[in-house]
């Protein structure tokens, strides 16, 4: 039996979980009107079964390479980690194109607010690593308006406009491992 399966189903049968060492969950936002600021979460989960993907990110694991800024992001100005310790995500009915592109809809909950999101990305074909694990690559992207989730802190930029953009790009680059039945 070949690992590469010729099918239009979203993913090969089975239950798949994210390999946290080789996966990444991150965000990007316009910063100071001159660049893109990036951050991510060190602790997260993702599980795929059929065309349903569910995941969580531990807010306290936010990482932007600066301890002071990490602390500010945990405060009520941003994620309010004490009251809302997790960000959750769910997508059902993801659709795979013949070329591996994907699209669909889902919902994300940030600071206790749940909103629908439109998803785009790509999915690869399964492969076997040197240790016999069957792995599958999946990338999803979505854009949200952070203000809809109560993440509205901002400051005026001296050159005009605001310090932070409102649109936040969410990116999940996942290496999924098939779980034994």
Where residue 157 sits, what CATH number does that domain have? 2.40.128.110
CA 105 – CA 160 distance, rounded (Å): 35
Domain annotation covers residue 5: no
DSSP 8-state code for residue 54: E
Domain annotation covers residue 73: yes
User: How many domains is the chain partitioned into structurally?
Assistant: 1
Q: What is the pLDDT of residue 1?
A: 38
| Residue 149 phi, psi (nearest 5) | -105, 10
Domain annotation covers residue 3: no
CA 170 – CA 11 distance, rounded (Å): 22
Domain annotation covers residue 2: no
Domain annotation covers residue 1: no
Q: Which domain holds residue 46?
A: 15-178
Q: What is the pLDDT of residue 10?
A: 83
Residues β-bridged to residue 115 = 108
Question: Are 91 and 105 in contact, with CB atoms under 8 Å apart?
Answer: yes
Tokens of 69: 């800024």
Model pTM? 0.91
Q: What is the pLDDT of residue 181?
A: 65
Domain annotation covers residue 143: yes
Domain annotation covers residue 118: yes
Residue carrying structure tokens 């854009």: 143
Domain annotation covers residue 53: yes
Give the mean pLDDT per block of 10 residues along the chain (181 residues): 50 93 97 94 96 97 95 96 98 91 96 98 95 96 98 92 96 96 65
């Amino acid at each position: 039996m070949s690992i590469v399966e010729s099918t239009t189903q979203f993913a090969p049968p089975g239950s798949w979980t994210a390999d946290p060492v080789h996966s990444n969950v991150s965000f990007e936002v316009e910063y100071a009107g001159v660049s893109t600021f990036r951050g991510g979460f060190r602790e997260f989960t993702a599980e795929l079964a059929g065309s349903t993907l569910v995941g969580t990110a531990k807010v306290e694991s936010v990482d932007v390479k600066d301890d002071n800024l990490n602390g500010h992001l945990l405060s009520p100005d941003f994620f309010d980690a004490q009251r809302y310790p997790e960000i959750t995500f769910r997508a059902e009915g993801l659709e795979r194109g013949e070329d591996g592109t994907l699209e669909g809809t889902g919902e994300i909950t940030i600071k206790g607010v749940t909103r629908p999101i439109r998803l785009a990305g790509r999915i690869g074909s399964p492969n076997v690593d040197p240790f016999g694990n069957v792995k599958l690559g999946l990338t999803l992207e979505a854009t949200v308006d952070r203000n809809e989730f109560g993440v509205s802190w901002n400051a005026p930029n001296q050159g005009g406009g605001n310090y932070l953009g409102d649109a936040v790009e969410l990116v999940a680059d996942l290496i999924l491992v098939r779980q034994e039945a």
